[in-house]
């Protein structure tokens, strides 16, 4: 249920309404918009909306029919902009995240990051804990990998994102990364989502392999319900009958999500296609469709990569692509 306050409502009136719903067993989430404040009342209790409508400063009470509430545009009309230091993602700012699939060694991350920094990338990616289909495949360097990422990122004044796979790893991740990534395979790991809702650091939530857009928004709702407002959604391709590409990139998810939700939506063309030569065209398509960011795999030596080499760009390929993407962004009045 959403309580829309009058634009003239005082802080005291907002506080009284908040107290009123809390006393009746609801959680209150406040969204201060440009025009008016909206209070999201989330809970399982039954309440007569007419009682709330009678309170001072209340304009109207809306029952939200969609199963996600805090993630919806009805709760918050303005785009959510994730701001970390001088980086912005959302609301006309396109974020660029790039780096290797996995952290393999200090030298590998350093060699890749040095180039990415020169090309203007501000957020470095790299998996330290890898969710691999085969138990015999490279599983990542673990905490050592996170240390390497942090060290290299500090050297080049970059931010870092890496995938957290389970609840017990969260305190460790908070020491090293700026954005915690939830992988496609964990999109509905509800214990992980609940715990990440309690932290106050941005979370990049990837769409599950076979998840609908509504299910993705429901997973975001778990994070928001815990009080974490800094959520970035990620379209990374879904499973279809088509096998020419690793997954099928759902480009239409971008405008669909942007209509339903205020959260930024980033696109991962690397895992979506699985093929290096498809990454550039799909990145351009995503920017043209209005995405709020891209996460692209780049490796200093893709031919010897321990993971996802075939979909990783050579640094020089990435440089060329990034130049083109910046030009494209201007056309739709956005900036990287």
Least spacing, CB of residue 94 vs ligand PEP, in Å: 18
**By the rule CB under 5 A, 308 interacts with Mn ion:** yes
**By the rule CB under 6 A, 206 interacts with ligand PEP:** yes
Q: Which of residues 56-85 bind Mn ion (CB under 5 A)?
A: none
Nearer to ligand PEP, 76 or 278 (CB): 278
Tokens of residue 213, six digits: 């857009």
Least spacing, CB of residue 161 vs ligand PEP, in Å: 9
Q: Phi-psi bin for 311: left (phi > 0), alpha (psi -120 to 50), beta? A: alpha
Among 100-108, 132-140, 173-181, 248-256, which window interacts with Mn ion (CB under 5 A)? Answer: 100-108
Of the residues 152, 184, 217, 296, which one makes contact with ligand PEP according to CB under 6 A: 184
Instruction: Please report where in the chains the tokens 């351009």 appear, as a residue.
Output: 284
Q: Exposed, middle or buried: residue 207 (CB in 10 Å: 0-12, 13-18, 19+)?
A: buried
Among 72-80, 233-241, 286-294, 305-313, which window interacts with Mn ion (CB under 5 A)? Answer: 305-313
Contact criterion met (CB below 8 Å) for 96 and 329: no
Contact pattern for ligand PEP over residues 109 through 148, marking x by CB under 6 A: ------------------x---x-----------------
Q: Please tell me the count of residues contacting ligand PEP according to CB under 6 A.
A: 11
Least spacing, CB of residue 71 vs ligand PEP, in Å: 20
Residue-by-residue DSSP string for 9-76? --HHHHHHHHHHHHHTT-EEEEEE-SS-EEEEEESS----HHHHHTSTTEEEEE---SS--TTBTTT-
CA–CA gap between residue 327 and residue 175 (Å, rounded):
36
Least spacing, CB of residue 170 vs ligand PEP, in Å: 17
- H, E, C per residue of 84-114: ECCEEEECCECEEEEECCECCCHHHHHHHHH
Of the residues 17, 61, 101, 298, which one makes contact with ligand PEP according to CB under 6 A: 101
Angle CA 84–141–200, to nearest 5: 25
Q: Please tell me the count of residues contacting Mn ion according to CB under 5 A.
A: 2
Least spacing, CB of residue 324 vs Mn ion, in Å: 23
Neighbour count for residue 188 (Cβ, 10 Å): 15
Of the residues 104, 163, 178, 235, which one makes contact with ligand PEP according to CB under 6 A: 163
Instruction: Please report where in the chains the tokens 């396109």 appear, as a residue.
Output: 94
Among 108-116, 179-187, 215-223, 315-323, which window interacts with ligand PEP (CB under 6 A)? Answer: 179-187
CA–CA gap between residue 111 and residue 44 (Å, rounded):
52
Contact pattern for ligand PEP over residues 256 through 295, marking x by CB under 6 A: ------------x--x------------------------
**By the rule CB under 5 A, 101 interacts with Mn ion:** yes
Pairing mode of beta strands 2-5, 58-62: antiparallel
Q: Which residues bind ligand PEP (CB under 6 A)?
A: 101, 127, 131, 163, 183-185, 206, 236, 268, 271
């Amino acid at each position: 249920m959403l309580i829309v306050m009058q634009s003239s409502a005082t802080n005291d009136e907002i506080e009284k309404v908040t107290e009123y719903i809390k006393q009746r067993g609801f959680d209150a989430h406040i969204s201060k918009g440009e025009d008016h404040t909206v209070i999201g009342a989330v809970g399982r209790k039954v309440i007569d909306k007419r009682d709330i409508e009678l309170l001072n400063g209340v304009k109207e009470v809306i029952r939200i029919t969609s199963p996600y509430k805090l993630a919806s545009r009805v709760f918050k009309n303005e785009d959510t902009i994730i701001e970390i230091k001088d980086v912005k993602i959302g609301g006309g700012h396109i974020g660029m995240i790039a780096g290797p699939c996995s952290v393999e060694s200090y030298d590998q991350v350093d060699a890749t990051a040095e180039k990415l920094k020169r090309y203007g990338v501000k957020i470095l990616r790299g998996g330290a804990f890898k969710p691999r289909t085969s138990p015999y495949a490279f599983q990542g360097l673990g905490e050592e990998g996170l240390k390497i990422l942090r060290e290299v990122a500090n050297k080049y004044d970059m931010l870092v994102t890496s995938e957290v796979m389970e609840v017990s790893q969260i305190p460790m991740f908070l020491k090293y990364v700026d954005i915690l990534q939830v992988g496609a395979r964990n999109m509905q790991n509800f214990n992980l989502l609940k715990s990440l809702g309690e932290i106050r650091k941005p979370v990049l939530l990837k769409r599950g392999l076979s998840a609908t857009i509504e299910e993705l928004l429901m997973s975001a709702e778990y994070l928001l319900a815990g009080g974490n407002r800094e959520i970035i959604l990620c379209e990374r391709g879904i499973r279809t009958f088509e096998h020419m590409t690793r997954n099928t990139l759902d480009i239409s998810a971008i405008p669909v999500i942007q209509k339903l939700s205020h959260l930024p939506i980033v696109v991962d063309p690397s895992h979506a296609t699985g093929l290096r030569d498809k990454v550039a065209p799909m990145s351009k398509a995503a920017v043209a469709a209005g995405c709020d960011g891209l996460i692209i795999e780049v490796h200093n030596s893709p031919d010897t990569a321990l993971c996802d080499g075939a979909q990783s760009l050579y640094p020089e390929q990435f440089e060329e692509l990034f130049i083109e993407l910046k030009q494209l962004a201007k056309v739709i009045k956005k900036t990287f």
